[in-house]
Structure 1
Amino acid sequence: MKKALKILAIIIVVIVILVAYNYSKLNIISGYSAKSMSSSVFVANRAPAFTDSTDNGFSPINFARDFVNEQEKFASATVYGLMERTAVYRKGLGSVLIDDDYDITQETPIPLRSNVARMAPYPYGNMKQKDTTFSNIEYAKIDEAVTYAFSKVDGEDVKKTRAVLVLYKDQIIAERYADGFTKDSRILGWSMTKSVLSTVYGILQYEGKLSVSDKAPIEAWQKDERKDITIHNLLQMNSGLEWDEDYSKISDVTEMLFLAKDMTASQIDKPLVGKPNETWNYSSGTSNLLSGILRKQFNSHQEYLDFPYTNFIDKIGMHSMLIEADMVGNYVGSSYAWATPRDWAKFGLLYLHKGNWNGTRIFDESWVDYITKPTPTSNGRYGGHFWLNAGGFHPDVPKDMYSANGYQGQRIYIVPSKDLVVVRFGLVGKDELDFNKFLSEICNAVK
């Protein structure tokens, strides 16, 4: 009996130590689960059970248990009853994790949107495209590549792809969706949002409202060596500032996304650990810092919220897009833009056409040269908030390819030499998608 009690006491002590050691992690786990659930249900109109089994179905997030209030539009999550976190939905701003001090009754400005039906075939309108066959396209090879992205083994979806679109000369030449998804399904782009944010800077520069060579207007940096950091350095992730982009632990990025009230401030207090323009370090904190700098370019919060939609997103008909904001109303430019696959594809086409949208110029064509210029020390992999193939990371794909990339394999590939835009959305499956194989097979089908 004494031996059994001793063993039980040891087990209890071990459990207490493990819980105490991992207690702060529970905040991130329940926070991720609540935010993901709220956005999935209220932004993407998915069922809670579907979200639990898919988007929240991986370890350690699957230890959380969610509760959804459909009427009041919020989701809460706990881990075995511990560390409850809540995310609320705000019209026009999406879902946001809140803290105990957040006033859910406060009035928050929302972006003004324009949704004008355009009587033209996609992508320049809402009408069906005319059937078009290109003699230089090997359609069987395109189909093989798309089928590979949706591979199943013994009936199991091993790639977890949700959507694939292939566009050639503005025409959809392949389009496929997983069960439960359609052309009207909003999908989270994760870090593809960074490329959307970068585009807003390109528009402001085109309109003469700023120059990316300007010094970053951060008051806290003006009395130390950080004062020399430019917007250009930030857009290239090359500021030299300290930042830990590790999602597997309590880190700078997880604290920002799941604990911060004002995400634009998360990197401001970080010291230099390298030299500007000489130290590439991928940082979601940098992107949200840029979102904060963007807000300073406008006279009011309303103008800041309206600008990306009025001057870009709604202007090219990406009406499904929604960029979520943090607790104080800053766009989460690092991670939280949603849109349908067809609208995400429009974003790729805008870049394929160097900022010209069916005769309307959105940004100067030199902006494409800017964002595809490799960041020093990135080995040709990164430009101005876009990923590059200049260094041949995808060895069987044209080197002029560049892309907007997001967590779990969200991709918009732009391949100018092939006149292609290729979109893939999904999760990471047991057999991870080989993007070099997938994209090279599509490119090789264009003769």
Structure 2
Amino acid sequence: MKNFKRILFLFLIALGIAIFYNYPKLNILAGYSAKNTASSVFLAGRTLEFTDANDNNFSPINITSDEINIEEKSATGSVFGLLKRKAVYRKGLGAVLITNDFDTTKPQLTPKRSNPDNTTPFPYGNADQKDSVFSNIDYTKLNETIDTIFNDRNQTRSILVVYKDHIIAEKYDTGFSKESEQLGWSMTKSITGTLFGILKCQGKIDVQQNHLFPEWENDDRKNITIHNLLQMNSGLEWNEDYNTISDVTKMLFLEKDMTKAQVNKPLIGKPNETWNYSSGTTNLLSGLLRKQFNTQQEYLDFWYSALIDKIGMNSMIVETDMSNHFVGSSYAWATARDWAKLGLLYLHNGEWNGEHLFDKDWVSYATTPTPTSNGRYGAQIWLNKGGKHPDVPKNMFSFNGYKGQNVFILPDEDLVIVRTGLTKNADVNTLLKGIIESIKN
């Protein structure tokens, strides 16, 4: 009996030490699980069982367990019952991971939304298009190409192909449809970047502006411009690693105000000479957008009135953090059709149904390669100028997100292609090549 107690005592000590040293990691794991569950269930309308079996079913997140509270619209994630994190859903603002001192009863400002147009056909409204058959399309090859990306390895959830503003192919995995809102992850960055293009077109912002934050005034960071931030070429320190305790995981699952996560980071390179992909940078940009408006309500409304609802992305919700700043790096949800509308806006050089939201010069600017990015990145937009996809035109550009969320824009082919899923390892080059080849010149 004494030996048993001694062994139990030593085990508890060892367990306590393990928890102490792994607490930050467990905190982030439980936070990810809670946040993702709350969004999936209360925003996207999926079940807890589906979310756990699919969206949260990967290592190391699958060691967590989740429960939901329907009445308060909350989700709690825990790791072995030792550590719990909670996320709550707020209508109009999405789900937010909260701390114990967060007052869930405090009224929150929410964006004013426009009524959706459900009578005008896609893309300018949300109604289905009349069937259109193009004589130059090999529909058999097109559909066979798309079928190859739907399997257990690729874990594709949706494919949408828009040619000359017409949907020529659309397919969804089991449990998904044209009504399903899907998380774009870092495709959200392209939403944030586009808002700067709109402000520039309105003459309200100069992307060469520096002296951006009071914290930077006493050192060389004062020389960083909005342009440098848009190109992720500021020289600021940042670690974007989703597999460890890093700057990005701490920001997304620990910070109350994500717009400040990179403000106090030092320079480790020179602006315009040190490209480094950073979600912290995009949330800095969200903070700069807030500074353009006198009130919080104006800031919240602008994202929707100037862009999201303006082009009929009515399903879209951009989630906010605890400070009610939009998480412009990561947290926009929308249907595949609405994600395609953002691609079409760029395909049409900023014109939407006869109105210019931004001009062609912004598209040229946003798709100009960032110095030292090897032709991979523009202004919050990914590029193919470096030839990452060798069988696809080099002037293709895209909005890309974690785990393989993509909107591909092919100007010469008059194509926008949306792909969403749960793995970044899908053979996108072959998919795009096959779609292009199915359309005869």
Distance 2:300 2:269 in 1: 33
| 2:145 equivalent in structure 1 | 145
Distance 1:428 1:17 in 2: 35
Distance 1:409 1:209 in 2: 34
Letter in 2 for 1:215: N
Matched ranges for 1:302-321 at <5 A: 302-321=297-316
| 1:154 equivalent in structure 2 | none
Letter in 2 for 1:331: F
Please say if 1:437 is aligned against 2:430.
yes
CA RMSD of superposed structures (Å): 1.6
3-state DSSP of counterpart to 2:185: coil
Letter in 2 for 1:224: D
Residue in structure 2 matching 1:264, options 259, 262, 280: 259
Letter in 2 for 1:443: I
Letter in 2 for 1:32: Y
Distance 2:17 2:120 in 1: 63
Distance 1:49 1:119 in 2: 35
Deviations 1:155-210 (A, max 9, x none): xx222111100010001110000111010000000000000000000000000100
Distance 2:295 2:347 in 1: 33
Change (3 A) 1:216 1:358: farther
Letter in 1 for 2:368: K
8 Å CA contact 1:387, 1:405 repeated in 2: yes
- Structure 2 gaps of 5+ residues are none
8 Å CA contact 1:115, 1:317 repeated in 2: no
Matched ranges for 1:143-292 at <5 A: 143-151=143-151, 157-292=152-287
Matched ranges for 1:52-201 at <5 A: 52-117=52-117, 119-151=119-151, 157-201=152-196
TM-score in terms of structure 1 length: 0.95
Distance 2:145 2:196 in 1: 35
- What is the Cα deviation at residue 10 of structure 1? 6.0
| Aligned positions, number | 440
Distance 2:243 2:117 in 1: 44
Letter in 2 for 1:33: S
Distance 2:108 2:99 in 1: 16
Letter in 1 for 2:421: G
- What is the Cα deviation at residue 335 of structure 1? 0.2
Deviations 1:346-405 (A, max 9, x none): 111111101111211111111100110000000000000000000101111100100000
Letter in 2 for 1:390: K
| 2:28 equivalent in structure 1 | 28
3-state DSSP of counterpart to 2:180: coil
3-state DSSP of counterpart to 1:62: helix
| Structure 1, 17-26 or 435-444: larger mean CA deviation | 17-26
Distance 2:5 2:434 in 1: 64
| 2:44 equivalent in structure 1 | 44
3-state DSSP of counterpart to 1:196: helix
3-state DSSP of counterpart to 1:18: helix
8 Å CA contact 1:321, 1:337 repeated in 2: yes
Letter in 1 for 2:196: Y
8 Å CA contact 2:248, 2:280 repeated in 1: yes
Deviations 1:118-137 (A, max 9, x none): 64321112332122121222
Distance 1:379 1:178 in 2: 35
| 1:328 equivalent in structure 2 | 323
Distance 1:3 1:68 in 2: 42
8 Å CA contact 1:109, 1:302 repeated in 2: yes
TM-score in terms of structure 2 length: 0.97
Distance 1:428 1:7 in 2: 43
| Structure 1, 116-125 or 75-84: larger mean CA deviation | 116-125
Distance 1:28 1:424 in 2: 28
- What is the Cα deviation at residue 145 of structure 1? 1.6
Letter in 2 for 1:221: W
Matched ranges for 1:294-309 at <5 A: 294-309=289-304
8 Å CA contact 2:211, 2:217 repeated in 1: no
Letter in 2 for 1:411: N
8 Å CA contact 1:263, 1:330 repeated in 2: yes
- What is the Cα deviation at residue 21 of structure 1? 2.0
- Structure 1 gaps of 5+ residues are 152-156
Deviations 1:388-427 (A, max 9, x none): 0001011111001000000000000000011100000110
8 Å CA contact 1:30, 1:85 repeated in 2: yes
Letter in 2 for 1:182: S
Letter in 2 for 1:252: D
